[in-house]
Structure 1
Amino acid sequence: MGNIGIMGGTFDPIHIGHLIAAETALDRCGLDEIWFIPSFKPPLKDRQPGVDSDIRYQMVADAIQDNAAFRVVDLELRRGGMSYSVDTALELSRLHPEHAFSYIIGSDRINDLPQWHRVEQLVSLVSFIGLEREGTPAEPDSLPAYIRSRLSIIAMPAIGISSTDIRNRVRLGQSIRYMVPESVRQCIEGRALYES
Structure 2
Amino acid sequence: MKKVGLLGGTFDPPHIGHLVIAEEVYHELGLDEVWFIPSNEPPHKNKATTTVKHRLSMVEAAIASNDHFLLNPIEIERPGKSYTFDTIQLLIQKHPDISFYFIIGADMVEYLPKWNRIDELVNLITFVGVKRPEYELKTDYPIQVIDIPGLDISSTMIRERLAERKPVTYFIPPSVRQVIKENQLYEPRERS
TM-score by length of 1: 0.93
Number of the residue aligned with 2:151: 159
Amino acid at match of 2:98: H
Which sections of structure 2, spanning at least 5 residues, go unmatched?
none
The number of equivalent residue pairs is 188
Number of the residue aligned with 2:28: 28
Distance in 1 (CA, whole Å) between partners of 2:10 and 2:79 is 13
Number of the residue aligned with 2:81: 82
Percent of pairs identical after alignment?
41
- Give matches, 1:1-196, under 5 Å: 1-45=1-45, 47-140=46-139, 143=140, 147-148=141-142, 151-195=143-187
User: Aligned-pair distance for 1:32?
Assistant: 1.1
Distance in 1 (CA, whole Å) between partners of 2:8 and 2:123 is 18
Aligned to 1:87, what secondary structure does the other structure show? helix
Distance in 2 (CA, whole Å) between partners of 1:65 and 1:92 is 22
Which sections of structure 1, spanning at least 5 residues, go unmatched?
none
TM-score by length of 2: 0.95
Distance in 1 (CA, whole Å) between partners of 2:134 and 2:21 is 16
User: Aligned-pair distance for 1:134?
Assistant: 2.0
Amino acid at match of 1:57: L
Aligned to 2:122, what secondary structure does the other structure show? helix
User: Aligned-pair distance for 1:135?
Assistant: 2.7
